[in-house]
C-alpha cells in the first residue's frame, strides 16, 4: 500500500470536515505526521462552523506552536469565532497580531469581523468609527453595514443606526438593504 503524503492526508481531513464528521477528521488530523496550513485551516473552520470556539482557539494556538504560519483564511475564522463568542479582548488581539506579527493586511472580511465584534460588545461608537474609516467604501459593504445596524438594533441605539443608514442611503439610494435595516431598527423601537 502506498504511503500517504501531506496532500492525501489533508484531502481526507478536509473531506471529513466538509461532511461534518469532526470525530473522524480529528482522528485523521491527529494521526498526520506533517500538518500543512490547509489541514489546520480545515480543522479550525470545521470547529467554528459548529460553534466550538474553545477548539478553534486551541487549534490556532497549536498551529502557532507547530511553527505553521497562519494566513488570511486562518484569521477570518479566528476573528469570526471570537466575534460570535463575544471575546472582545481576544478578537482585537488576534486582529493586531495579524497585522503586526504576521504582516497580513486586513481584507474586507477581517474588518467585517471586527465591526461585528465591536457591535456585539456594545462598542457602537468604535464600530461606527471603524466602519466609516474603512479603506474601502463602507456603503458598498452590505455585510459590515448589516452587522453594525444589527448591533444598533440589539443595543437600542436607534439614533446612531438611523444616522449611519441615512449616510449609506445617500451614497447608494438604489440599494434596498439599508432601508430594510432602518425599518427593522425603527420597528424595534416601537416594541420597547
From 105, 130, 162, give the residue that closes a domain. 105
Round to whole Å and give the CA distance between 128 and 121. Answer: 13
Name the CA radius of gyration of the chain, rounded.
19
From 73, 105, 137, give the residue that closes a domain. 105
pTM of this structure: 0.84
Q: Are residues 96 and 160 both part of a single domain?
A: no
Its domain, for residue 32, covers 1-105
Round to whole Å and give the CA distance between 70 and 35. Answer: 13
Here the contacts of 51-55 (C-beta below 8 Å, separation 24 or greater) are: 51/84, 53/81, 53/82, 53/84, 53/85, 53/87
110 in any annotated domain: no
CATH number of the domain bearing residue 83: 1.25.40.10
4 in any annotated domain: yes
Q: Are residues 101 and 161 both part of a single domain?
A: no
188 in any annotated domain: yes
Q: 35 near 61, Cβ under 8 Å?
A: no
Per-residue pLDDT of the chain (192 residues; tens, 9 = 90+): 456 677 888 888 888 888 888 889 899 889 888 899 999 999 999 999 999 999 999 999 999 999 999 999 999 999 999 999 999 999 999 999 999 999 999 998 999 999 999 999 999 999 999 988 887 765 556 778 788 888 888 898 988 988 888 877 777 667 777 777 778 777 766 554
From 79, 105, 131, give the residue that closes a domain. 105
111 in any annotated domain: no
Q: Are residues 125 and 177 both part of a single domain?
A: yes
121 in any annotated domain: yes
Amino acid at each position: 500500500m502506498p504511503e500517504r503524503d501531506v496532500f492525501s492526508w489533508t484531502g481526507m481531513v478536509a473531506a471529513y470536515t466538509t461532511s461534518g464528521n469532526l470525530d473522524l477528521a480529528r482522528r485523521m488530523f491527529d494521526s498526520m505526521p506533517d500538518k500543512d496550513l490547509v489541514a489546520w485551516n480545515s480543522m479550525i473552520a470545521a470547529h467554528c462552523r459548529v460553534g466550538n470556539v474553545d477548539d478553534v482557539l486551541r487549534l490556532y494556538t497549536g498551529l502557532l506552536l507547530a511553527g505553521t504560519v497562519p494566513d488570511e483564511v486562518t484569521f477570518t475564522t479566528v476573528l469570526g469565532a471570537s466575534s460570535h463568542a463575544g471575546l472582545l479582548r481576544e478578537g482585537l488581539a488576534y486582529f493586531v497580531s495579524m497585522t503586526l506579527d504576521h504582516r497580513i493586511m486586513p481584507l474586507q472580511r477581517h474588518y467585517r469581523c471586527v465591526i461585528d465584534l465591536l457591535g456585539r460588545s456594545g462598542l457602537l461608537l468604535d464600530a461606527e468609527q471603524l466602519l466609516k474609516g474603512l479603506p474601502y467604501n463602507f456603503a458598498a459593504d452590505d455585510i459590515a453595514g448589516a452587522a453594525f445596524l444589527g448591533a444598533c438594533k440589539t443595543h437600542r441605539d436607534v439614533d446612531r443606526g438611523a444616522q449611519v443608514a441615512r449616510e449609506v442611503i445617500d451614497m447608494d439610494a438604489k440599494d434596498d438593504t439599508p432601508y430594510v435595516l432602518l425599518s427593522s431598527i425603527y420597528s424595534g423601537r416601537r416594541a420597547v
